[in-house]
Amino acid sequence: MDAYDQLRKAAREKRDQAILEARLECQRTLHTIKALRARITDKPLIENGVAVDEPKRRKIIDVICEVMPQGYAFTMVELQDWVQQSESGRAVDRETLRTLLHTLKNEGVVRRVARAGHNAVTWEYVKPRSRELAFEAMLLPDAAAVVLGDTGPLRIMELVVALQSRGYRRDAKARTLLAAAGAALRRNRERFSCDEDRRWGLA
């Protein structure tokens, strides 16, 4: 790839990012208008014909299940970094993570594997939490699988737009969700594959 190709690639990526942010900002604004109207008129907010509440902050245990990798062990330090990257600006202490990991261990979702360097315990994913979830409450890899199963391969930007258009993490910042989606797809290569055009689909 020569210098001109690199410049064209950078320009396309910048354009795609601007389009994504504009679309998501439009969606957030429309949602805010609907919520404001509902409060003023004392009527419930309606989405797809169903009354919904204002979006709530996700539970940390759900974030853990979303960001932890499948196929290799991880440490508490790595998990804390992944959680904080996913939940930008939200502080999460290790004691909370340790407690939630033991909860997941008791549910059979994770297991302790061995001790890594500096006497650190490593953990490993075993199976998903056994419960039926609404699309909006799914973990990011599961929600992505639903969308890609319906649409076929998409670029990450297109996937994020599709996710939020269906109500998934509607109020998340575009860059935050874009980064989280990319990381989730790459960590789950056994479920997702990427073609030469950088389109992701089900493996």
Which domains does the chain possess? 3-54+132-202 (no CATH), 60-125 (1.10.10.10)
Tell me, what's the pLDDT at 200? 94
Residues 6+ positions from 47 with CB-CB distance below 8 Å: 34, 167
Please tell me the pTM assigned to this model. 0.41
Give me the half-sphere count of Cα atoms (radius 13 Å) on the Cβ side of residue 134: 8
Q: Is the pLDDT of residue 178 over 80?
A: yes
For 155-201, the DSSP string reads: -HHHHHHHHHHTTTTTTS-HHHHHHHHHHHHHHTTTTEEE-TTS-EE
Q: Would you give the DSSP letter of residue 42?
A: T
Highest mean pLDDT among 6-15, 25-34, 122-131, 185-194: 185-194
Tell me, what's the pLDDT at 103? 82
Name which of 13-22, 25-34, 180-189 the model is least confident about. 25-34
Q: How do residues 67-93 score in pLDDT, each as one tens digit? A: 888 777 888 888 888 888 877 767 788
Answer yes or no: are the C-beta atoms of 96 and 63 closer than 8 Å. Answer: no
Measured CA to CA, the distance from residue 115 to residue 77 in angstroms comes to: 13
Name which of 21-30, 38-47, 124-133 the model is least confident about. 38-47
Measured CA to CA, the distance from residue 173 to residue 179 in angstroms comes to: 10
Tell me, what's the pLDDT at 132? 47
Tell me, what's the pLDDT at 169? 84
